[in-house]
Structure 1
């Protein structure tokens, strides 16, 4: 066994270790039902932590026993303790107590698949050799009984030298007995007494592997009786589902159905979320006063409210207040309290509420995606799908399992990136994560719609070419980039796909729902907080500095005066809205964001962009679709104009440069389209990339290469169009 590096425990692991709560390590092969058992034992009382330096999730949950509550640590699924992968390194380091800040587990709960003991006992032999107090959960006992497999549990317990409890995590069978036996073992603390063959520990690698398999086969031969026709039905089905042609067709049909359901089912909740946050914004607008009678009272109440929010947040996160955190909270609360009332209102509506809404709106797609992925994985189908797609994906340096995340990314890159967790090899997973945002997602559709209308006004059939071309360009760019990365920065061919084809099983609805809850919680906690913070920063850039009142154009005052003098209430309201839009456009131009737009004009001028398009590009850093509403404000329509496609398109067609040339020419529209197909204009994706890779390094690389790619391609398109006489 090779020497392992010493790892540092994440704060959550170290904290629990120091809190006097005893720990139970849950370990087992993939497809042994370990996650289902974890969910069944802990219910909703689970959280996720990462070991530093590697992207390996270690889930933890509270397990209630008759006399005490213990911490159940769900280690990654693995086939052995050879420390060849990050998962194996984490599991063995944790079991041996080589994780700084975490102790050796008090008990090891080893999950074995009752339908496939021969394969499971290899890992069992390595775990039992550690001589830790160990209990075996013989999972899927109901499936074994249904298949006619008879297991002599007492004989098997004697051979393994530890207690064994037959269970079915899916139905709950045997879980009460498992809890009682676990508590007894925690009291006795008796280590496993398995006697392995001497050659298992001689250090001869070939001898060791052979001896372990011989021992496993011997134990199975003495303890298990199986029918002669076991697995024949599965083999017949697999002949079709793993066929190079039928298997691919079946997989495409299944995934088309899944993603149709994602689009269909997520549409209503996403609309409701959008409308809900809009109502919240309107309610805040109605509740907050236009002015305050006592400025000190207002400041004190805002300061106290912000501090209360910090206190509640720390309480929910179970984090400790430090001196630095205290000063940071006080400083932030003081800044917020000093804001004028109208700015505080804008911060809540356009910063906080819009920022949170921009995160939560992705939640339905994420939940639906992981619900179906969980069902497909539990059924055993996903392993077959990965097998048949392997040859196609390897042609561009990607593993077969990358196909599912790439399909997911056409709904949204965020669930696609999160779905890359099914790819075990870190290098392959990195390449997949890096190229996924190039695939067309739903957030790009408003931009495509606007550009299509600008290019082909009144011809929907021709405009559809824009959508088809954009999708093809995104897929081609993703595949080409992955090929280049695997030949350069992440050199090497995709590793061969070695996987187990598990038996087909009926998926667990409860397990799927718990998986959805777990992934949704991780997404909101890890990504949502950062997105909210940066959204507030973007709000500040678009709000400050304030344009002095004497610098507002005279047209604003004229519109306001006309609104006050007219007797027509409808006309007065329209005039005030127009005045507000004009003032907002001037304020945006004067703000840091507007100044930045003009500052970068020399950079974007070769692409055919004017400074107002630049502001749209900058403002859409948080979300691509923001460019439509930003352009509507910049050109005097306001955010409401973004909903009136005809009005927006007509207004954009009328815009000219200072020298009278039209802004939105055919060349400029094509350049803008290519830029948004290829550019990284999605802050949530950046946050999730950093989360999934364990470092901001790859998120920054993703941003830089996609920006350079988008700029280069747009430059070629714009200058090439001009060279061909297309203006």
Structure 2
């Protein structure tokens, strides 16, 4: 074992380098990560292997009362690497990965419903010479499918310890923990079965020997199968992978998914909105008027609160997606979408990066490394940022909340339309690139279809909590910093009331004579805001965005969001929330924006403007970190510059057309 400590695993009291290390290895869809979650719970953290973009998870666990490190290696099909994930996994298992100790024991996770397909990887793992346990996972699903495995016979064939488990139900987990503890104590060398070929002149017969061995072991160990279960799977696949019915099913599933997200999320969002409004009002009551009161109420509470009220929707979004993926349905959806993707010039292997782009474009661009052909990979990288990432969700939620309050069904339809527009734009631009600067034919998709299974609520909750914490961490760092900068720009320089224009002073005096002091204070606040640094910047850039229906506050929000898309929500919360300190009751953040008035006295967020802003954020780049990753993956600034240029033009033209069309239809 390496004696070099891993700084990512710094733990109290125990020397991390001295801890025994156990690695989990397995095919994708074998339930390896679910088993890792079952063994570790919330103690895990995610990081990249040093010098790579390949992610892994690790945690400290207790085995027999002693601590150990558990590493979840990337899902692989072979230890003869043909992808970055496989290369990293092999390097770790051979002790060649920097700052990662070679495992003291190996747990190979096998899908008990697809034994023959998983065993070739087991044969390669046994040849490493590491103490090895085979964890036969998904046993509950195998029972339902009528698959009966002779565990004793299978263990004899493999020559190593075998434990039947179910990561979903927790069955067999104590036995697996005991087996790992015993393995670390004894450290036996596994008996290598006769599944490899000694021939040095033939590169293909080794593969053939492994699969023949796996086929023989499966025949000897599987004692009963149910053709009825297989027939049901085939019948469902006939529907879900049909070129027409499958697309309809996908559209129906996603529509229901968005309706559920909006209907459930509206209640906690309303509570959080009211809570932040109360916190802002309470701050104004207990703190004396002045800069510090505005800093806390408008800068911190108003900015961060305007972001966090969308946390319920983001949690529900990832929870539902995790359930769909765990059920096996998303693999069928990818097969259906592949046929459409290849028609517009996208490679089949682009579906996995495109799916992950709905969380964030940065790991999606990194994941495009699985695409071997350079032209296919460039097309994929160029269109990935058009797909809706989680950073856009708060912007969508804000606009549809302003447009259709109290109508979850309509909100869900518009929300789904935003996702559809992003996907359509990605497909359209892929077709354009294939017809112009990146000509060529994409390769078809070869994908494994896992068995249908009951999704794990526990795993879905763990995924949701991980994503939620990442969102909160972002709101507490980058977004908070942007909020405070925006508050400072909107606060300084402070123009005394006596130096405001004479017409404003006259209106203030008239309101005070009428006894409407809150309205007078609001008028003073708005006049001071327009004369701040933010007002000057907003008026400078506003002519550019005026054709889109944006006033100066929206314009400066757009500019501020180039660092992070979701920053516009907090920026607008700060800008539209300032200037109403004289109100007796602090309105909610959404109520402030609904009440905001534009230059002509009408609602600032009318229907054409909201639709224009939605379309703009569906299509605009607005993410500098994504540009940096595009540069790193392509090795030149040419592609990120082209990416920024075409997305900005596309967003501007589409938003202008949307605003013009909506204004004409509504007479606005």
Query: What is the TM-score with the length of structure 1 in the denominator?
Result: 0.73
Indicate how the Cα distance of structure 1 residues 375 and 680 shifts in structure 2: closer, same or farther if over 3 A, else same. Answer: closer
Q: Of residues 313, 328, 340 in structure 2, which corresponds to 1:365?
A: 313
Corresponding residue pairs, total: 632
Q: Secondary structure at the match of 2:444?
A: coil
Q: How much has 1:32 moved relative to structure 2?
A: 1.3
Aligned to 1:240: 239
**Deviation per CA, 1:400-440, whole angstroms, max 9, x where unpaired?**
7988999999xxx7689999999994648745641124999
Q: What is residue 568 of structure 2 aligned with on the other side?
A: 623
Equivalent pair of 1:620/1:681 in contact (CA under 8 Å): no
Cα distance 1:695–1:262, how it changes in 2: closer, same or farther (>3 A)?
A: farther
- Structure 1 distance, partners of 2:416, 2:152, is 63
Tell me the CA shift for residue 34 of structure 1. Answer: 1.2
Q: Distance in 2 between matches of 1:523 and 1:514?
A: 14
> What residue number does 1:596 align with?
537
**Aligned to 1:373, what secondary structure does the other structure show?**
helix
Change (3 A) 1:450 1:239: closer
Structure-1 residue corresponding to 2:526: 585
Equivalent residues in 2 for 1:421-570 (5 A)?
Answer: 425=370, 427=377, 430=381, 433-437=384-388, 443-444=395-396, 476-484=424-432, 495-525=443-473, 528-547=476-495, 550-554=498-502
Task: Look up the match of 1:707.
Answer: 648
SS of residue matched to 2:333: helix
- Report the aligned-residue RMSD: 4.8
1:108 corresponds in structure 2 to 106
Secondary structure at 2:167 match in 1: coil
| 8 A contact 2:110–2:137 mirrored in 1 | yes
For 2:55, the equivalent position in structure 1 comes to 57
**In structure 1, what is the equivalent of residue 272 of structure 2?**
273
Give the one of 591, 595, 616 matched to 1:678: 616
The whole-number CA distance in structure 2 between the counterparts of 1:629 and 1:201 is 71
Q: Shift of the alpha carbon at 1:264?
A: 0.9
Output one character per residue of 1:141-177: Cα deviation in whole Å (capped at 9) or x when no partner: 2333444433333333333232111112222222111
Q: Distance in 2 between matches of 1:448 and 1:513?
A: 26
Structure 2 residue corresponding to 1:163, chosen from 154, 161, 164: 161
Question: Using the alignment, how far apart are the partners of 2:483 and 2:640 within structure 1?
Answer: 18
Contact kept in structure 1, 2:61 and 2:69, CA below 8 Å: yes
User: Aligned with 1:178: secondary structure?
Assistant: helix
- Give the match for residue 39 of structure 2: 41
Contact 2:105–2:130 (8 Å) recurs in 1 = yes
Equivalent in the alignment of 1:179 = 177
Once residues 628 and 526 of structure 2 are traced to their aligned partners in structure 1, the CA distance between those partners, rounded to angstroms, is: 36
Query: Which of these residues, 129, 133, 136, is aligned with residue 135 of structure 1?
Result: 133
Q: Tell me how far apart the structure 1 counterparts of residues 539 and 81 of structure 2 sit (CA, whole Å).
A: 54
Q: State the 1:42 CA deviation.
A: 1.2
Matches within 5 A, 1:303-382: 342-382=290-330
Aligned 1:18-33 pairs, distance under 5 A? 18-33=16-31
Name 2:410's counterpart in structure 1. Answer: none
Q: 1:514 Cα deviation (Å)?
A: 2.4
Question: What is the rounded CA distance, in whole Å, between the counterparts of 1:583 and 1:125 in structure 2?
Answer: 77
Cross-structure match for 2:284: 285
Residues 698-727 of structure 1: CA deviation (Å, up to 9, x unaligned):
9998665433333355678999999xxx99
Relative contact order (alpha carbons < 8 A, sep ≥ 6): 1 or 2 greater? 2
Instruction: Provide Cα deviations, 1:221-251, integer angstroms capped at 9, x if missing partner.
Output: 3333233736233223322332222222222
Q: Is the contact made by 2:74 and 2:85 (CA closer than 8 Å) also made in structure 1?
A: yes
Does 2:153 align with 1:215? Answer: no
Of 49, 57, 68, which aligns to 1:70?
68
Contact 1:679–1:706 at 8 Å: present in 2 too? no
Contact in 1 for aligned 2:298/2:577 (Cα 8 Å): no
Q: Alignment partner of 2:42: what SS?
A: coil
Cα distance per residue 1:590-622 (max 9 Å; x no partner): 322222223335655777877566446446762
Distance 2:475 2:55 in 1: 16
Distance 1:147 1:436, change over 3 A: closer
Distance across 1 between alignment mates of 2:368 and 2:476: 25
